[in-house]
């Protein structure tokens, strides 16, 4: 990150990092999360979920700061973020639920 001057607590404060989890089968494709993510982490995917909706997909997870705004805005409880350190290692989990 570029700073115009170096903050005094730069070494001690770590910016939070988030990992996005999408419960695909709950999504109804309203696009709220994509439009209002303050860091533009999300975009709409080209694939469909079981209901026939396009779901959001993570475009650049490195930008996610775990602000939970997508989680708060989603009417379907289909997307949420967690602390990046707590999630599974590896790629973003696009979480598919069978039962609802």
Partner 1 sequence: MKTKKAGKNVPGHPMEELIRTERLPHIWCAGCGIGTVFGSVMAAIQKSGYDLDKTAIVSGIGCTARMAGYIRLDSFHTTHGRALPFATGLKLANPELKVLVVSGDGDLLAIGGNHFIHTARRNIDITVICVNNLNYGMTGGQVAPSTPFGAKTTTSVTGCPEEPFNFCYLASACGAVYVARWTSLHIRRLTNSITEAMQKRGFGFVEILTPCPTSFGRRNKIGTALETLKFYHERSVIRNDIDPKEAPIDFGSNIVVGKFVDTERPTFLDNYQLSCRKQIGDWPNFEGTMVQDNQAGDKTYYHER
Binding site for partner 1 (CB under 8 A): 21, 23-24, 26, 28-32, 35-36, 45, 51, 53, 57-58, 69, 71-77, 80, 82, 86-88, 91-96, 100
CB of residue 53 vs partner 1: minimum separation in angstroms?
7
Which residue's CB is nearer to partner 1, number 9 or number 86?
86
| Closer residue to partner 1, CB minimum distance, 11 or 78 | 78
Long-range contacts of 29-36 (CB under 8 A, 24+ apart): 29/53, 29/54, 29/55, 30/75, 30/76, 31/56, 32/70, 32/73, 32/74, 32/75, 33/69, 33/70, 33/73, 33/74, 33/79, 36/69, 36/70, 36/73
């Amino acid at each position: 990150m570029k700073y115009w001057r170096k903050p005094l607590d730069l070494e001690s404060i770590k910016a939070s990092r988030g990992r996005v989890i999408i419960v695909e089968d709950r999504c109804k494709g309203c696009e709220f999360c994509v439009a209002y993510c303050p860091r533009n982490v999300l975009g709409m995917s080209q694939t469909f979920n079981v209901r026939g909706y396009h779901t959001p997909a993570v475009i650049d997870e490195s930008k996610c700061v775990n602000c939970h705004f997508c989680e708060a805005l989603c009417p379907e409880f289909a997307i949420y973020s967690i602390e990046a350190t707590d999630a599974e290692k590896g790629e973003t989990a696009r979480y598919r639920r069978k039962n609802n």
